[in-house]
Amino acid sequence: MSVEVVVKNSCQSIGEGPHWDDRTNSLLYVDILSNDVHRWSPDTGNDEKIHLDDSVGFVVPCRKGGYIVGLGRSLSHVDWDSRKITKLHEVDKGTKNRFNDGKCDPRGRVWAGTMGYESEPANPERERGSLFRLDVDGSLHACVNKINISNGLAWTADNKTMYYIDSLPRKVYGFDYDSETGNISNQRVVVDFGEGTIPTLGYPDGMCIDTEDKIWVACYGAAKIVRFDPTTGKQLKTVDIPARRTTSCCFGGKNFDELYVTCGVQGSTKEEREKYPMTGSVFRVTGLGVRGRPANVYEG
C-alpha cells in the first residue's frame, strides 16, 4: 500500500466531495468555503477549477451534461464551459445553513444534506440540518431532519441498504432502502465511533463503499481513513494520511482500485501545517487489494 500526493495544496478551506468521473477519467472535488469546484485529470495533471458565488458542498455529474452542486442553501445545475448556473431548489430559508456532502443513489437520484452555521470546524448550530433527495423528475423531498453535520453516503451492491453519516453523534447509520421509490426506513446505528476515541478516530466524515460492501470512512481530525464492516461495526483496516483533517474518499482510476482522499485546511494551526505540509492536498492510495464500483450520476 502506498499514499502519494496527486494535487498538491490545491484546497485553501475544506477539500471535500471527491467523485471519480469514469466518463472523462477525471476526479471532481470541491473546496467548500473557497467556493470552488475542481476537475483534475491524471492523464494531463491539469487541475481545472471554476469559482462560484457561494459555498460548494458537493459536485456530481449529470447524465445529460453539466453538474449538480450544493451551492449555499441551493441545489443548482452548473454548465462547466459556459459557467451558467441554474438554481433548481432552495432549502432551509431564513437560516445560515449550507449544503454539505451529497451523492447519487443507484437510480440516479441526488441525496444531499445541510448543516447549521459552523463558527469553527465540527461545531455547527445543532440539529439544524436535513437530508434531502432530488428525484429524477426534479422534485425535492426532505427525508431526515435534525441533522448536525450531514456527511457520507453509500449504498450496498444489492441496493437494499443505504449508509449515512451524521458527524457529530460520531455514528454511521444504516437504512432499509427501496431503490424503486427512494424511500428509506428502519434507521439503525451500524458503526459507533464511541466515547473516548476522538484522539484516535476523530469524527466520521465522508465515505465510500467497496465491492465487498465494506465502507471506507474519512476520520476528520485523526489523519486516517478506516475500513469498517458495517454488519459488525468492526474496524478492518487503517490507512494513515499525511494530513490531519481528512474529509472524504472515493474509489477511482481505470480499474477503480485507487482511493482518492481529500482534506481540509480550515482551523489548522501553523504547527499542524508544519507537521503536515501537504494539508489541503488530494491524495491517492494504491495497493489496497480492493476496488470500488463506478460512481452513480444524476439521471434527471
To the question of whether residue 118 is assigned a binding role by annotation, the answer is yes
Burial status of residue 156 (CB atoms within 10 A of its CB: 0-12, 13-18, 19 or more): middle
To the question of whether residue 16 is assigned a binding role by annotation, the answer is yes
Q: Assess whether 205 carries a catalytic annotation.
A: yes
Strand pairing report for 67-71 and 98-104 = unpaired
Residue position matching grid coordinates 467548500: 32
Task: Answer whether 193's CB lies under 8 Å from 170's CB.
Answer: yes
To the question of whether residue 151 is assigned a binding role by annotation, the answer is yes
CA–CA separation, 158 vs 155, rounded Å?
A: 8
pLDDT tens digits, the chain, 300 residues: what are they? 999 999 999 999 999 999 999 999 999 999 999 999 999 999 999 999 999 999 999 999 999 999 999 999 999 999 999 999 999 999 999 999 999 999 999 999 999 999 999 988 989 999 999 999 999 999 999 999 999 999 999 999 999 999 999 999 999 999 999 999 999 999 999 999 999 999 999 999 999 999 999 999 999 999 999 999 999 999 999 999 999 999 999 999 999 999 999 999 999 999 999 999 999 999 999 999 999 999 999 999
To the question of whether residue 133 is assigned a binding role by annotation, the answer is no
Residues 124-136 as b/e (b if ≥16 CB within 10 A, e otherwise) read beeebbbbbbbbe
- Catalytically annotated residue among 21, 205, 210, 257: 205
Q: What is the dihedral of CA 272, 72, 185, 190, to 10 degrees?
A: 0
CA–CA separation, 300 vs 57, rounded Å?
A: 20
